[in-house]
Amino acid sequence: MEKLVKLLKAVIRWLKYVREPVLVHRPPSDDFMARQMSQMRVTQEDGTVPTSYPPKPIQEEKTMQISISSGHGLRVRGAAGILDEVKEARRVTDRVAEILRANGHAVNVFHDDSSTTVAQNINWLVAQHNRSDRDLDVSVHFNAFQPTDGPMGTEVLHRTGDGVAAGAAARVTGAMARAGGFRARAVQPRDNLGFLLNCQQTPILLEVCFVDSRADADLYNQNFEAICQGIAGALVG
Ligand SMILES: [Zn+2]
Mind listing the pLDDT tens digit for each residue in 54-92? 555 555 567 999 999 999 999 999 999 999 999 999 999
Domain boundary pick from 18, 41, 59: 59
- Whether 46 and 150 map to the same domain: the answer is no
- Whether 185 and 99 map to the same domain: the answer is yes
Q: How far is the CA of 36 from the centre of ligand 1 (A)?
A: 63
3-state SS class at 186: coil
Structural domain boundaries, residue 231:
65-236
Which residues are placed with Cβ below 5 angstroms of ligand 1, an ion?
71, 78, 141
- Residue spans of the chain under pLDDT 70: 14-29, 32-61
- Whether 24 and 83 map to the same domain: the answer is no
- Whether 76 and 159 map to the same domain: the answer is yes
- Whether 50 and 72 map to the same domain: the answer is no
CB proximity list for 30: less than 8 A, separation 6 or greater: 51, 52, 53
Single-letter residue type at 21? P
Q: How far is the CA of 109 from the centre of ligand 1 (A)?
A: 17
Rounded to the nearest 10 degrees, what angle do helices 85-102 and 224-236 cross at? 60
Q: How far is the CA of 41 from the centre of ligand 1 (A)?
A: 63
- Whether 144 and 109 map to the same domain: the answer is yes
- Whether 34 and 104 map to the same domain: the answer is no
pLDDT at 8: 77
Instruction: Report how far residue 103's alpha carbon sits from residue 120's, in angstroms, rounded to the nearest whole number.
Output: 33
Q: How far is the CA of 233 from the centre of ligand 1 (A)?
A: 22
- Whether 152 and 206 map to the same domain: the answer is yes
Domain boundary pick from 44, 59, 74: 59
- Whether 78 and 179 map to the same domain: the answer is yes
pLDDT at 46: 63
Domain boundary pick from 35, 59, 83: 59
- Whether 53 and 70 map to the same domain: the answer is no
User: Is the separation of the CB atoms in 187 and 144 below 8 Å?
Assistant: no
pTM given for the model: 0.75
- Whether 129 and 25 map to the same domain: the answer is no
pLDDT at 3: 80
Q: How far is the CA of 39 from the centre of ligand 1 (A)?
A: 66
CATH code of residue 109: 3.40.630.40
Q: How far is the CA of 100 from the centre of ligand 1 (A)?
A: 23
- Whether 95 and 209 map to the same domain: the answer is yes
pLDDT at 5: 77
Q: How far is the CA of 4 from the centre of ligand 1 (A)?
A: 96
pLDDT at 226: 98
Number of separate domains in the chain: 2
pLDDT at 58: 56
Q: What are phi and psi of 80, to 5 degrees?
A: -135, 135
pLDDT at 131: 97
